[in-house]
Amino acid sequence: LERIAMYMQEKEDVYDLMWNDHVTYGNVHKKGEWELSTYNFEMADVEMLLKMFHMYEEEGKKVGKEGLVLPAYDYCLKCSHTFNLLDARGAISVTERTLYIDRIRNLARLVAKNYLAQREEMGYPLGLRISDCGMRNEQKN
């Protein structure tokens, strides 16, 4: 949305966008952006984040195995965000990065499989079956 607004208002800097007649986007968001950047790149506690990632992953697997799609999805998102914080802090090596991404992908795969099973059990009330979308069997896995 910001890029569209920048084009429409002919602005080069997102912070110069007019929020209303008297307030800019920068007035509303710049301080918060600075605070989040300071935390993400300088202050986030790496040891705590490593523990949190593990806890989120384990809880996501646990609720995923119980077929609770939305809680498992929420924990998948928490893992992704925590990974991004760890990456921003430079706490993950190139090799570890791949392993963390695999762990998040595995949790996302569990969520997706459970979601499809849940939709199938409900008779696909919101849309088409995978087979109706032209996907081949090998694409379903």
Residue 128 has φ and ψ, to the nearest 5°, of -80, 155
Domain positions in the chain are 2-42, 45-124
Question: Domain spanning 45-124: which superfamily?
Answer: Class II aaRS and biotin synthetases; domain 2 (1.20.58.180)
Q: How far is the C-alpha of 56 from the C-alpha of 89, rounded, in Å?
A: 19
pLDDT at 140: 47
Alpha helix segments (H runs only) across 1-141: 2-9, 25-38, 46-65, 69-88, 94-121, 137-140
pLDDT at 131: 64
1-12 pLDDT, tens digit per residue, is 999 999 999 999
50-109 pLDDT, tens digit per residue, is 999 999 999 999 999 999 999 999 999 999 999 999 999 999 999 999 999 999 999 999
pLDDT at 133: 62
